[in-house]
Amino acid sequence: MKRDMKSDMKITALRTFVVPPRWLFLKIETDAGISGWGEPVLEGHARTLAAKIDEYAPMLIGRDPARITDIWQMLYRNGCYRGGPVLMSAIAGIDMALWDIRGKALDQPVHALLGGRVRDRIRAYTWIGGDRADTLLEDAKRARDAGFGAAKFNVGAELAMIDSHAAVDAIVANIGGLRDAMGPGFDLAVDFHGRASVPMARILLRELEPMRPLFVEDPVLSSQLGAMADLARATPITLACGERLHSRDAFKPVFESRAAGIVNPDTAHVGGITEMLRIGAWAETYDVALAPHCPLGPIALAACLQVDALCHNAALQEFASGIHYNADVGHGDYVIGGKGPAIEDGYLPIPEGPGLGVEIDEDAVIARAAEGHDWRAPVWRHADGSIAEW
């Protein structure tokens, strides 16, 4: 039976859980017995985000969880500093949990509270590594067997600012071999991960054109948006960026310079559902596709799917459960029933359950939080000993 939001409902507690493989979950509790879940994590900085949530808690306890936009603005505008990956990731997790509470209180999915879904399902792609190419084909075939029609992978490992022809040839051979093996019915997206300098990105994009990648992500670092716009004008390949941008302000030069045909902000890093919808709507005015970034857990994915349900220009959804960095832990480990969302013909269904539409197994979360994690990105070096981009 539908429950109306109590006018006197108050937030009573915020609890965080550092869980494998590299995630941070947040539970917001209320005096009405309705709780919401969020995922306020920044990969490699889970404990930093847990501390930030703890700092935000006194500002939230006692407040009405239905005033989502007001709380968002309070957290964003309070104090001298705003934006950036830590603050926006913390706000994101809180925002997700508040929307989860709102939907549960009204017995409606989040997308129903925001105008209703524009689609029934969203095309999904998964992540298959690529730092070292030895398992690339095996992982691509496994993705296809799991029901995916597309996969994304890193262009390669370390790339020097001016690398050798042999390094370029090796990258082209790896990707070309994968393209030939998988055939035209399986789409491949290539992530440069900011590892390529502007000169190397120009060379690699030219070499990859015959392989017709679905898109190339972060051909250069997001701090090089001017160069990325130049690259976009010079290649027919669709370029994507956004996972390292953390507020709508940061996307302004992307749109105005036409640097990307796809933006992929991360719901867990960019201020949650509230800010993602603003960015998605803004992207639509520039005829830019939205493809939410999500190499994270089941709560972050559920939040992304609510955005996908509402943004007409949402074209792709990243779904990476049990991926190469830790194949032993996936979404199903933390949801009731032990199963994550099912891929069917390359698509993920839009959730219809109340709130975010994902039922978290709190007992499993508590048990795995006792184990915790200390995930860190690897430290890479070039042949000359200098630090390489990971």
Residues 35/27, Cβ–Cβ less than 8 Å: yes
Which tens digit of pLDDT belongs to each residue from 295-313?
A: 999 999 999 999 999 999 9
Confidence of residue 118 (pLDDT cuts 50, 70, 90): very high
pLDDT at 271: 98
Residues 302/351, Cβ–Cβ less than 8 Å: yes
pLDDT at 1: 39
Which tens digit of pLDDT belongs to each residue from 246-265?
A: 999 999 999 999 999 999 99
Q: Is the pLDDT of residue 130 over 90?
A: no
State CA 317 to chain mean position distance: 9
Percent of the chain with pLDDT over 70: 96
Query: Closest Cα partner for 89 from 181, 159, 25?
Result: 25
| The two structure tokens encoding residue 68 | 């989502």
Query: Closest Cα partner for 26 from 320, 35, 285, 210?
Result: 35
Question: Residues with catalytic annotation?
Answer: 193, 293
Name, in order, each residue with C-beta under 8 angstroms of 136's C-beta and a sequence gap of 6 or more. Answer: 128, 129, 130, 153, 174, 178
Q: Is the pLDDT of residue 274 over 80?
A: yes
* DSSP states of 349-366: EPP-SSBTS--B-HHHHH
Question: What is the SS3 assignment for 270-329?
Answer: CCHHHHHHHHHHHHHHCCCEECCECCCCHHHHHHHHHHHHHCCCECCEECCCCCCCCCCC
